Amino acid sequence: MSSESLFLSPVYLPLLSAAGILFIKSFCPTSIKRIAEYLGILIGLVLPLLLVLRLYPIVQNQGYIETTIGGYAQHIGIIYRFDGMSLLLILLAAAITLPAWIFSRNEGPGHSYFTALLLIQNASIAAIGMAADLFNLFVCLELMGVTAYVLIATGKKANAAYASFSYLMLSSSAMVFFLLGTFGLYNLTGSLRYEAIAMGLETLSGRNQYVAHFSLLLIIVPVLLRVAVMPLSLWLVDAHSKAPHAVSALLSGVLLKVPLFALIRIFSLSPFASSLALPISYAGAVTALVGVLLALSQSDAKQLLAYHSISQIGYIVSAWGLALHAGVTTMTGSLLLSASFFHAFSHAQFKALLFLTIGKTTDAAGNRNVYTFRGANQALRNVGERVPLTMLCFLVGALSISALPPFNGFYSKTLVTYTLKGSLHYTFLTLASVGTVASFIKLSRIFLPSKQPMVLPAVKEKNRFPVSSHLAFILLALSCLAVGLFSEQMILFITRLISSEEAQTYGSSFFFTQDNLIKTTLTVLSGIVLFALAVSRPGKYVLHLLEKRRGGFTDLFLGFATALGALALFAW
């Protein structure tokens, strides 16, 4: 097989196995159906990853591989370009989809449609990572969005359909503007290919330049909506907390980040676009802080996690924005981008782990309120867990997100804050990490033993704890630990893929400096203090006020208009 066919395999192999699964589902009996699903995941998810990893040396030497779909002339066909970022995105998607799928086997929604949808989603993510064509990017983003809406709506929670619907309405009306922006750029440059657009934009002058700027704006804001930076993040909380647990893990682990890193190519179209990156990075820093404050005020466990996703995406966006501002090809830019991706990758792992463990625990007890729910371990024992693995895995996740060594969160957060040192972002992010610690102390309290004895259910059938759930937890927890322990190699891997020049190494001597350790200790201590303040009477009052502030349907669109307006003012 040629390398062109090889790098497209993450697009067509998942589609092939999804089609196969659906085919077998409608023609064959149940026993074969299950085998088909396992085979489908193997062929559609694991095999392409292995094939793509074989291209690593080529990407490192040449930078990228390119092909035109169908072998037509370059200026008329759709171009797919496989570079380091595509490889990283495919890796990210597969690393989270696999445990989430394993978890879904027993905890639902574990039917063949779900498996097929996951595979289609992975194909669309790979396509987003590789498309070098504006309209094809639109189609792939729509495909990814549609799978997300459908997956959210499979939730059993009463409001799941409503959450999915409001996300659908918001996101698809935003995508109309994306289409309008594509129209504007095509009108100006006569091409949908990134390179041709970039060349065409250089020659523009006068009024046409304004048209180009606003077209770019109309493309960028809808994509940022999927990323959920602050004024655009109102849809996220309902969608993430009402979805089935496996889907929540995927949504905040993968689907938030893919559009963000795909945007890099659009930002490099014109120098104007990269000047937009700076305000976006400030928005990211504010997002990190506000998100964590809102998270601290939540009483619903999954909503708390959803607000944390907003907060963590703020970290990623602020490093990402500064990277684009400095220029992706420069030394600082590539370092910032690597830090941003590294944190995105770690966040995907620990947030997926947290969503799955908390989901399982709250289901076992039938209670999601962090204020009233105690004795989670007992509840888990009731559903048949012998060893408290769920609690241990949850703790791994909580320690990772609070940035404690030796877990991945410590390394990625330290790298992000290191690269941001000296800017205003740094202050915001440091404050946000204090809030993270405080809110995770709050969440961890559900594992404290309960004061009043647990009311045991009357029917006492001996049910066994599903092995698949444990397997998913352990997979994610171990990968959190492994990425932490092998952070040096991981960072090297990422930076080499992002910029092919000789990358710096960040060994343990970089991370375990006195400054970093003091900072971590201080963060934890102030986190404890903040937690103590939060549970005090005035703190509770303030948090309660914050919790009641929830946006309605119109506010979703208000957020979109605000973001568009703010960036438009900046562009003017």
Residue 78 engages another protein in binding (rule: CB under 8 A) = yes
Footprint of another protein on 285-304 (CB under 8 A):
none
Nearer to another protein, 242 or 496 (CB): 242
Amino acid at 61: N
Judged by CB under 8 A, the number of residues near another protein is: 77
Residues 444 and 373 sit within 8 Å (Cβ to Cβ): no
Nearer to another protein, 1 or 458 (CB): 1
Footprint of another protein on 179-208 (CB under 8 A):
180-181, 183-184, 186-191, 207-208
Nearer to another protein, 117 or 524 (CB): 117
Residue 72 engages another protein in binding (rule: CB under 8 A) = yes
Give the containing element (helix H, strand E) for 80: strand 79-83
Closest approach of another protein to the CB of residue 60, in Å? 23
Residues 6+ positions from 155 with CB-CB distance below 8 Å: 163, 164, 242, 243, 244, 247
Helices then strands, counting H and E runs in the chain, come out as 27, 2
Closest approach of another protein to the CB of residue 121, in Å? 9
Using omega within 30 degrees of 0 as the cis cutoff, is the peptide bond preceding 259 cis? no
Closest approach of another protein to the CB of residue 202, in Å? 15
Q: Which of 47, 69, 389, 454 binds another protein (CB under 8 A)?
A: 69
Closest approach of another protein to the CB of residue 70, in Å? 5
Closest approach of another protein to the CB of residue 16, in Å? 5
Nearer to another protein, 214 or 394 (CB): 214
Q: Which of 149, 167, 194, 473 binds another protein (CB under 8 A)?
A: 149
Nearer to another protein, 1 or 459 (CB): 1
Which tokens go with 429? 């992010």
Instruction: Give me the helices (H) in 63-133, please.
Output: 84-107, 112-130
Binding mask 96-135 for another protein (x = CB under 8 A): -----------------x--xx--x--xx--x-------x
Residue 26 engages another protein in binding (rule: CB under 8 A) = yes
Provide the 3-class DSSP secondary structure of residue 452: coil
Residue 55 engages another protein in binding (rule: CB under 8 A) = no
Residue 337 engages another protein in binding (rule: CB under 8 A) = no
Footprint of another protein on 210-269 (CB under 8 A):
210-211, 213-215, 217-218
Separation between Cα atoms, residue 294 and residue 236, nearest integer Å: 13
Axis-axis angle for helices 160-189, 234-242 (nearest 10)? 130
Instruction: Give me the helices (H) in 298-330, please.
Output: 301-326
Closest approach of another protein to the CB of residue 254, in Å? 16
Amino acid at 87: L
- Distances 111 to 22, 27, 154, 240 between C-alpha atoms, Å: 11, 15, 11, 20
Give the containing element (helix H, strand E) for 192: none
Residue 570 engages another protein in binding (rule: CB under 8 A) = no
Residue 562 engages another protein in binding (rule: CB under 8 A) = yes
Separation between Cα atoms, residue 183 and residue 181, nearest integer Å: 5
Closest approach of another protein to the CB of residue 136, in Å? 6
Closest approach of another protein to the CB of residue 366, in Å? 20
Residues 6+ positions from 221 with CB-CB distance below 8 Å: 174, 177, 232, 560, 563, 564, 567
Separation between Cα atoms, residue 40 and residue 51, nearest integer Å: 16
Report CA 418 to chain centroid distance, whole Å: 22
R_g of the chain, CA atoms, integer Å: 23
Closest approach of another protein to the CB of residue 150, in Å? 3
Residues 152 and 109 sit within 8 Å (Cβ to Cβ): no
Residue 3 engages another protein in binding (rule: CB under 8 A) = no
What is the DSSP secondary structure assignment for residue 300, as one 8-state letter?
Answer: B
Closest approach of another protein to the CB of residue 32, in Å? 14
Nearer to another protein, 13 or 295 (CB): 13
Nearer to another protein, 54 or 392 (CB): 54
